[in-house]
Amino acid sequence: MTLSFMPQTQGAKVGYLFPGQGAQAVGMGKQLYDESPAARDVFHQVDMALERPLSNIMFNGPDDALRQTINAQPGIMAVSLACIKTMEERLGDAMPQPVVTAGHSLGEYTALAVSGVLDVGDTAKLVQRRGELMQVACDQNPGTMAAVIGLDEMTLEQIAQETGIYVSNINTAEQIVISGDIMGVARACDLATARGAKKAIPLRVGGAFHSGLMEPARAGIIEAISAMTFHDPQIPIVGNCDAEPLATAEDVKRELISQVCSCVQWKRSVDYMIGSGVNDFIEIGPGRALSGMVKRISRRSQIKSVGDLESILSLSGN
C-alpha cells in the first residue's frame, strides 16, 4: 500500500503533523478499525509487514506491553496512517491537502509514508527496527530524560556542558527536554531549578533518546536504511535536525541517521512552516501533544487534532 497526495495549490496552506512516542493509549485506532475499511486495511498491512498481531496489543493492551518501544512506535505510526486513509475514504475532495509534513521524532517516520518516500509496509519495518536498536542502546547506555519548563535554550546548553547531559527536544521556547545518564539529568534538573526554571519534570521513558547515549543504534539504522528503496518526497518533509525541508531521498536518509543522536528542533520546524505561509495545521494520530505545542509557539496558527472518526468528519466543515 502506498499513500500519495496532490499538493495543495490554492486556499489556506495546510501542514500535517505526526506525533511521537508517548502518544500511545490502549484502544487507540480501534474505532477506526471497526468503522473504516480503509483504516482496517492499514492495520492489516502493518500486522503483515511485522509478522505479528501488533493491532491486538494496540486495541486490547495490556498497557505495559503497549508502552514498550517496539510496540508503541509502530502502533502510533499505524494509527496516524489509518487516520489518513479514513480521511481519504470519508472526506473525498473535501479532505484538506497538505503543502508540507513534519513529525516529532517517531512522527518523522510516519511522514515518510504520507509523503511517498516508503510504502506502509517498509515504514512499519523500519520503525520496528528503530525501536529494537534504540532498546539495545538503552540497555548499553542507561539513561533518562526530563522536561524543563520556563528556562531558555542558551542556559540549558550551558547546564548541559556542565553536567555532561544533552538538550534533546526543543519543543517550544518554554518547554525543552534534556537527556543523559540518570545522575547527570538529576543534577541538571537541580541546576535548572536554581537558575530560574519553573519546573524540571522527570519523564517516564526507557532511555536518553536523541542524545549521544543512542550512538550504539546508529550503525543498525544505517544498515536498515541501506536495505530499503527510498523515493523523493512527493510533499516536503521538514526535518527534525535542521528544521528545513527534505527534498530528496538522500536528504531523508541523512536526516534519519542524524536524528538518532541529535536534538529534535520542533519549535524551529514549526516556525519554518509558519514562515513559509502555513497557518493551518492538522495533528494526525493519537494524543494532542503537538497541538498544545503549536498553540504555544504561535497563537495565530490554527490547529486541529484528528484521532478518531468524529474528529475526521469535523474536517469537512459539515
Residues catalogued as catalytic:
105, 210
* Cell 478518531, residue located: 308
Strand boundaries in the chain, DSSP class E: 14-18, 98-103, 144-149, 166-170, 175-180, 199-202, 237-238, 245-246, 280-284, 302-306
Question: Strand 245-246 and strand 175-180: pairing?
Answer: unpaired
Tell me the backbone φ, ψ of residue 58, rounded to 5 degrees: -60, -45
**Residue 83 cell numbers, joined:** 487516520
- In 208-278, DSSP assigns E strands to 237-238, 245-246
- What share of residues in the chain are helix, strand, coil (percent, to 5)? 50, 15, 35
What the block records as the C-alpha cell of 133 is 536498536
CA distances in angstroms from 186 to 52, 124, 168, 262, 263, listed in the order given: 38, 35, 15, 21, 19
> How far apart are the C-alpha atoms of 79 and 162, rounded to whole Å?
40
* Rounded CA separation 24/76 (Å): 6
- Which residues make beta-bridge pairs with 280? 14, 302
**Rounded-to-integer distance, Cα 14 and Cα 102, Å:** 11
The C-alpha atoms of residue 234 and residue 98 are separated, in whole angstroms, by 11
Look at residue 305 and give its three-state secondary structure: strand
